[in-house]
Amino acid sequence: MNPSNKYTPRNRMQREKTTLSNHSDSGKDPVRVYCRLRPLKDNKESTCIKLLSPSVLSLTTPMESKGSRKEVHYKFKHIFTSYSGQREIFDHVAYPLIEDLLKGKNALLFTYGVTGSGKTFTLTGDENNPGIMPRCIDTIFNSIGDNQAPKYVIKSDKMNGFEIQSETEAYRDRMQEDRAALKTPKTPRRVNSSDKINYANDNLKILLLNETNLYSVFVSYIEIYNNTVFDLLDESSGKSLQSKILREDFNKNMYVNGVVEVEVKTAQEAFNIFFTGQRRKRMGDTILNAESSRSHSIFNIRIVQLEQQTLNYDGQPMIPEGNHMQISQISLVDLAGSERTNRTQTTGARLREASAINNSLMSLRNCLEILRENQMKKSNRLVPYRDTRLTQLFKNYFEGEGSVQMIICANPSIEDFEENLQVMKFGEMTQDVKIAKSEAKYTPIHKRTIEKNTVTPKTASKPKNATFTLLPEVPAMKFNFENIEDCGIQIDKLVRILKLRKNKSVNVNRESEIKIKEFRNRLLEMDKDFVLNKTEIKSLRTIIQKEKHKSINLQTKVVDLETVNDSLAHKCGELEDVVRSLQNKISEKDRKINQNCLEKEKHKHRLAQQSEKTQELDMKLKKQRDYLNAAMKAKDYKLKKVKEVLESDLIPPIDITEIQKEPNVYSHKLVQQAEKENQTPHKSRSTVATSTPSHRRRSRSAGEVWLEHNSIKPVPLGTVLQPSMKKRKSVTKLSKATDITNPKQSKYCLIAQDQDTDGEVETKVYKADILPTCGGGAQVVFNDVERLRQESPTK
């Protein structure tokens, strides 16, 4: 919220100074803006509006809204609470407008507010609580009474003006209306209870009315729907309404071309016309309002006055030539309520209607803001009246063709806070707009042939008070004394006229005395009121002086407090910066502490995992060592036995199938067989070949042929040392006896791979001699084992 909108004594004085400096012209009046608060639907419902004085209210930000809570003050001409009745609003707002209307001045009154805030009820009301419109009509007809011109004597010229018809033409139009009513009788129609209402009449009158004038009352009813003008009283197009256009008359005043203006003679007739148009007005149902106006409705009341009223010989009013006509108008505007689509949740046609309503209201606000800026800053910006039909139609009022008044209707519920905020700002801004004072204008009657005939007895209307009528004139007579009879007749005629004058003069004197007494009483009452007002003014002046001193003291205190507040705000800002920096440091340290805690937890978790892994590895290593130690003991035992077998004299015969299956198993079997032979006595040693170291050295001679038995495909170790066999035959499987018994072969080697005690892969080459046997076979005698392995020199 703009802080400049807040109503404070300092801002108020500044506004008054600018208003006095910019609008010192006494020929202008400000737009009077009133505010009316609607009663809450439920007593438990919370409100956001608080009344501070009869002209000042405060708007408080609800607790649920984001941001700081603020209180904004707004000032209006007068604020009507929820307990204010329709009569009070009419007396304050509309009664002065009706006084000006009967004096020939124009007026515009419109209600503004969100949907469901009570605008339509303020204008129309109900049967027991009539609104502004029915009270205006009742007051007009109560005031003019019988001082009405005969029907159809004053007739609209269809160009925003009026013309006078002769008595003969008016009588002919009345007869045509009666015949048309007889020819086309209205069919009975089911009438709703809300169509026709007999409003309660308070019998209010306008005092000091010019009773020598003749009055005619005309009404029209239009609406602006989706920025298009429609005539609600035009029944020529049937049920569907035809759009109308706006034009300017010869006085540059805007009017609706071809609008139907109906002359009414009674208040009930005007009400019937109003409800005829009300049935054709566009209404809709929304979430916020069951009967929401979807258009701007404008009810116009025009009064035509004929001055210089004269009476004919029968005491009845007649219209002389060379008369002047006075036209005045009051427009009662029921603006459609502004809506927020997120609250009403409108879609489709309702959404387009809401968009048109909001656009027209925004255009009205824009025009008033530019008009206010032009008046305050003495600028000359173009006011965009032509943006919408609403502002274009009201252009003449804002340019000085009449007084303008507004009633801001507000629902004090806390749910309507945002909408009320915008409405209050618009209403307060509108008060700064100045409108030139309107004056009564006289229009000469159109030159037409006016017959000075008396009005037909059926339609003749007598004046309400024919008190100051002229006495019968005394005719000029010449007496011829020669003819006594003629003289007697003339004398008798003169006596009758004199008696009539005497009788009338008595009545006139009696009525004049009554009027004099009434006038004297009124003067005395006015004098009393003057004295009372004078004393009251003196007391009020003293009170005003005291209030001025108080206001000056308060202004100085406010200035001092503002300076203190500024310094405190500056210190508070500095402290807030310090607090903010300290908070940043604390948050940074907290972040580092949390990060360190996380790293410690991760480190503990890693250590726990590593300890578990080390324990598992230790267990595995222990098992592996045990296994390798057992394997080494077994191998040492095997080697010991093989050594014993090799050193023994008996060598077991070679089984080729066992060699093919597994050489290691075969060597173990050799050991077992050697143990058995050591235990049993030797039968014969002639067939057993011995293995001696000298035999191993002979196996390296150059003419030896090797049988290389690769039972597995060894893994290459990448060593430099490799078995040296110049002549060899390689086999992977010993499938037949000839592989061993070949006489060319004298050496046998078996290649195997295994892990050592340290877990390294080593290649073993088992070497043997092939010795022939007596039976023509061959015997393999293992005599050596070579190991190929790699070790680190720093191990």
User: Binding site annotation covers 118?
Assistant: yes
Tokens 């916020």 identify what position?
288
**CA-based nearest residue to 424, from 69, 117, 123:** 117
Residue 410: alpha-carbon gap to chain centroid: 18
User: Binding site annotation covers 114?
Assistant: yes
Distance between CA atoms of 790 and 721, rounded to whole angstroms? Answer: 10
Sign of CA dihedral 359, 361, 364, 366: negative
Residues in CB range of 454: below 8 A, 6 or more apart: 167, 312, 314, 316, 318, 460
Distance between CA atoms of 302 and 323, rounded to whole angstroms? Answer: 19
Residues in CB range of 794: below 8 A, 6 or more apart: none
Residues in CB range of 665: below 8 A, 6 or more apart: 658
Distance between CA atoms of 389 and 14, rounded to whole angstroms? Answer: 36
CB 611 within 8 A of CB 739: no
Distance between CA atoms of 281 and 275, rounded to whole angstroms? Answer: 10
Does an H or E element contain 783, and which?
A: strand 778-788
Backbone angles phi, psi at 445, to 5 degrees: -70, 145
DSSP state of 148: B
Tokens 């965009």 identify what position?
384
**CA-based nearest residue to 354, from 364, 366, 342:** 342
Backbone angles phi, psi at 335, to 5 degrees: -70, 140
User: Binding site annotation covers 348?
Assistant: no
C-alpha torsion 555→557→558→560, nearest 10: 120
Distance between CA atoms of 374 and 384, rounded to whole angstroms? Answer: 13
User: Binding site annotation covers 765?
Assistant: no
Distance between CA atoms of 423 and 103, rounded to whole angstroms? Answer: 33
CB 706 within 8 A of CB 727: yes
User: Binding site annotation covers 27?
Assistant: no
User: Binding site annotation covers 735?
Assistant: no
User: Binding site annotation covers 33?
Assistant: no
- For 242-320, where are the alpha helices, taking DSSP H only? 267-278
The pair of structure tokens assigned to 396 is 């003449």
CB 704 within 8 A of CB 727: yes
**CA-based nearest residue to 466, from 293, 360, 273, 316:** 316
3-state secondary structure of 194: coil
Q: Which residues pair with 256 in a beta bridge?
A: 246
User: Binding site annotation covers 117?
Assistant: yes
Distance between CA atoms of 344 and 388, rounded to whole angstroms? Answer: 24
Instruction: Give a three-class secondary structure readout of 115-137.
Output: CCCCHHHHHCECCCCECHHHHHH
CB atoms within 10 A of CB 783: 20
Does an H or E element contain 88, and which?
A: helix 86-89
Name the binding residues for ATP.
113-120
Which residue ranges are tagged as binding site? 113-120
